[in-house]
Structure 1
Amino acid sequence: MMTDLESRVSRKLMLRIIPFVMLLYFVSFLDRVNVGFAALTMNKAIGLSPTAFGFGGGLFFIGYFLFEVPSNLILHKVGARRWIARVMVSWGIVSLASAFVVGPNSFYALRFLLGVAEAGFFPGIILYLSLWFPTRQRAVAAAWFMAAAPISTAIGSPISGAIMKLPSIAGFADWQMLYILEALPAVVLGFFVLKYLTDTPSKAQWLAPEERDWLIAKLKTEADARQSHAGHTAGAMRALRDPRVLALALIYFGTSAGLYTLGLWAPLIIKQYGFGSFETGLLAGIPSIAAVVAMILWARHSDRTEERTWHVVIPCALACLGFVFAGNASTALMIVLALVIVNVGISAAKAPLWAMPSMFLSGAGAAAGIAMINSIGNLGGFVGPFAIGWLKNVTGGYSAGLYVVGATLALSAVVTLMLSRQSKQTPVAAGERHSH
């Protein structure tokens, strides 16, 4: 049972940190996937084939991959407040510049630059949460943060669809207005981050002295327990070579392939059933609402039972089945139902997965390892959308690409089980109870 002091600190952390980082991720995800809505008219306007669109959509993750680890190590050095602010302002500027692409090459260049600008944001926040939340709250904190992605799809899809219906303003086309209007909040919030974020618990003036002391002591006790464990990694270079880090990256690869396939292609897949831009937005948003609920409840269960492995395996397998179902769907109702299954599976897997690295990584090792998992894993965000576009060109339909993405999630489930069997004596497989 939580003591009164622990409950008070927990409540303050959740209210002060989580809504704000959710807002940041909401805007981040909106700027990352609004290209799927821009594509409804942009592709024809600038001459993008399905293959070129899938390739450019995925190029984001190449830039992201190359700059992720350096970005997170800088964040570890200079603090989250200043670095997250820099990330947000720069990605807002690049996202706004996307309104001025004129053909495939400029589209490729700006998608790559968007990845470079945004590198370090997601793993930076995951690292930041591990500096504030004790182990028993970590999956739920991560789940609430990551819930901003499906919420962004649920709310952002109808908004994006509505913007695409606006009449031309100052000579800008609908897809250009979409980029401009959705980029501005990132720049504004970037400056707000400097005022609002607190780097570490020791600097938290918004906690009472006894609350601050309890939190610092609790986090230190947990860190000491982990460091005394034989499988613990604290150094950046050792973390990058740790096979557990590479295994988690491979697991995350499947979930990223699934998530960004949905973000980039779901509007186009739904629209083929004859819906307009706004109706497409509403339908694309439905699966995300189910995903948010599943994500939070599943993370709570994972934290309560202190079990991670099966909390990753089961949702990955479910998402795989959802993609197979989507590949066989023949009506709008079937495709939306399939997308619900896929969204629920992918979203539910993420929080228990992200609770794993901090069980065996700390310090610079955590900064490097979490960034490595995210950067390699996010290459799935390149492979998934590109596979769909390329196979659509080859086969004329979406089914083959959906099966390929489903296979990456099956691989995620298998690798999670293999990691668990390999690491029976480490906190990754066995959960927190072995780390105390």
Structure 2
Amino acid sequence: MLVYLLGYLDRANLGNGRLMGLPQDILGGDPSGQLFAWLNSSFFFAYIVFQFPGTILGKKFSQNFWLGVAATGWGFCSALQALSYNFANAFICRFGVGFFESMFSPNISLYFTFFYTRAEIGGRLGTWFACASLAGAFGGLIAYGVQHIDSRVADWRLLFIIEGFPAVIVGLLCMKVLPDRPDTMTWLSPEEKRLAVKRMNRGGKKERAHTLNLRHVWRAAKDIKVYIYGIIYFGANAQAASLNGFLPTIVQNMGYAGANAQLFTVPPYAIAAAVLIVVSFVSDKYQSRGWPMFISSMVGGTGYLLLIVDVPVHVKYFATVLVTAATYTTIGMAIAWFPYNMGSESKRAAGIPIFQGIGQCGSILGSNIYPTADAPRYLKGFGISCGFAYLAAVLALGLTMWYRWENTRRDRLYGVVDRNAAVDTSELADDAHAFRYTP
């Protein structure tokens, strides 16, 4: 959680830097906002290209080493942004942040399945991903504080330094503190290891450490569900990227000026974190991911409708709370829902970066749908985000209904199974007769 909090601070701080004079200092003022949009997109160019090899290769290495290298790398690249003196410098640094983060986030979804069963993973991944929202809140507070520091260093440069170097330190600690996986942990007793392996086999079958089943990689590439996941994730990330890059500017255009614009970005993110954590544990309790995602997406679409119509500023601010909470809940549910419906470790290792790669293309879109010329109403950006929110609701509803139907069909054909029993998924992954989906 701490690593991801620092990572998301480094991912999202560009939006805060925009209000601190970054465009004026290194982008020539950027009157159209297009250079800033490309700068915001550079992170996602690297993230999309490298997350598939980053996740596949990550299965070949110890997870604590791989995740630690990722955090150290992005923290260093984030701090380097403080030395930028033109667009090219900043673009390369942001690209570096995206490269190293591509090694981390997709791997975490796989990493958590080593330790938590499908009945537990929703609350754990939801709590973990809530750090993305908390980073938005902390980012606003840190930016507010930095703007009150009397320094000869530009505020935005100071911000990148303050938020970058902690990730370097924590990344190095990860290599020592984090475990690799339960079946290779040296400080577990033999009895504890047997229990850990038994838990890893619930509803599936664990694979030998640091190996890859290429047949399951191919199954992931052919699975239509992975691409439906990708469409949902595409829309959600388009919304999240626009929030990260432009929420401070949107709040400023509502009438909150200067440092106060930074401060007023805190409540939407803080509320979003709380909502996500609560919803994640409720979804674990009822073992249902699709219905919470459907509801959150509908709420998000309604929030964007409020931003589109002409309503008082306090209603618009309430709408930003709705869309922020809905967006992070939808992404949190997706991260928790999809991995355990892929059947095997290797299929997850391939399927997760495929759907997340498709999803991060939405981040590039989200970085480019709020041009300065559209201020203060941003009708194009809000309209596109609204459409994606409602599309996610429809797809989530369709997926959860199909999973329920397929589980019932398998129960009828092959008999009712114990969801905690080991299932041999080594040949067919989630197509195994005894495998059941989490709807």
Q: TM bucket by the smaller chain?
A: 0.7 to 0.9
Cα shift at 1:235: 1.4
Amino acid at match of 1:403: G
Identity %: 25
Match of 2:6 in 1: 27
Deviations 1:108-132 (A, max 9, x none): 3332232122212111111110111
Q: In structure 1, how many angstroms separate the alpha carbons of the residues matched to 2:214 and 2:100? A: 28
Deviations 1:351-401 (A, max 9, x none): 332222322232222111111121211221111121112xx4257642221
Match of 1:403 in 2: 383
- Confirm whether residue 381 of structure 1 aligns to residue 359 of structure 2: no
User: Counterpart of 1:34 in 2: which secondary structure?
Assistant: helix
Match of 1:5 in 2: none
Say whether the 8 Å CA contact 1:270–1:335 is kept in structure 2. no
Match of 1:164 in 2: 147
Match of 1:267 in 2: 248
CA change 1:426–1:69 in 2 (3 A) is farther
Amino acid at match of 1:44: Q
User: Counterpart of 1:78 in 2: which secondary structure?
Assistant: coil
Q: What aligned pairs does 1:366-377 form with structure 2 within 5 A after superposition?
A: 366-377=348-359
Say whether the 8 Å CA contact 1:67–1:116 is kept in structure 2. yes
Cα shift at 1:179: 0.8
CA change 1:236–1:153 in 2 (3 A) is same
The range that moved more, 198-207 or 332-341, is: 198-207
Match of 2:343 among 341, 352, 361: 361
Q: What aligned pairs does 1:72-83 form with structure 2 within 5 A after superposition?
A: 72-83=55-66
Match of 2:18 in 1: 39
Identify the structure with the greater helix proportion.
1
Match of 1:194 in 2: 175
Q: In structure 2, how many angstroms separate the alpha carbons of the residues matched to 1:70 and 1:274? A: 45
Cα shift at 1:209: 4.8
Q: In structure 2, how many angstroms separate the alpha carbons of the residues matched to 1:183 and 1:396? A: 31
Match of 1:300 in 2: 281
Match of 2:37 among 54, 66, 70: 54
Q: In structure 2, how many angstroms separate the alpha carbons of the residues matched to 1:312 and 1:337? A: 20
CA change 1:428–1:410 in 2 (3 A) is farther
Amino acid at match of 2:379: S
Cα shift at 1:214: 1.8
Say whether the 8 Å CA contact 2:197–2:206 is kept in structure 1. no
Amino acid at match of 2:390: A
User: Counterpart of 1:388 in 2: which secondary structure?
Assistant: coil
User: Counterpart of 1:135 in 2: which secondary structure?
Assistant: coil
Aligned length: 406
Deviations 1:306-337 (A, max 9, x none): 12221211111111111221233654422321
Q: In structure 2, how many angstroms separate the alpha carbons of the residues matched to 1:84 and 1:148? A: 16
Say whether the 8 Å CA contact 1:137–1:303 is kept in structure 2. yes
Gaps of 5+ in 1: 1-21, 227-231
Match of 2:49 in 1: 66
CA change 1:429–1:186 in 2 (3 A) is farther
Q: In structure 1, how many angstroms separate the alpha carbons of the residues matched to 2:435 and 2:285? A: 16
- Confirm whether residue 415 of structure 1 aligns to residue 395 of structure 2: yes
CA change 1:233–1:301 in 2 (3 A) is farther
Gaps of 5+ in 2: 208-212, 411-417, 420-433
CA change 1:285–1:27 in 2 (3 A) is same
Say whether the 8 Å CA contact 1:151–1:292 is kept in structure 2. yes
Q: In structure 1, how many angstroms separate the alpha carbons of the residues matched to 2:104 and 2:8? A: 11
- Confirm whether residue 348 of structure 1 aligns to residue 329 of structure 2: yes
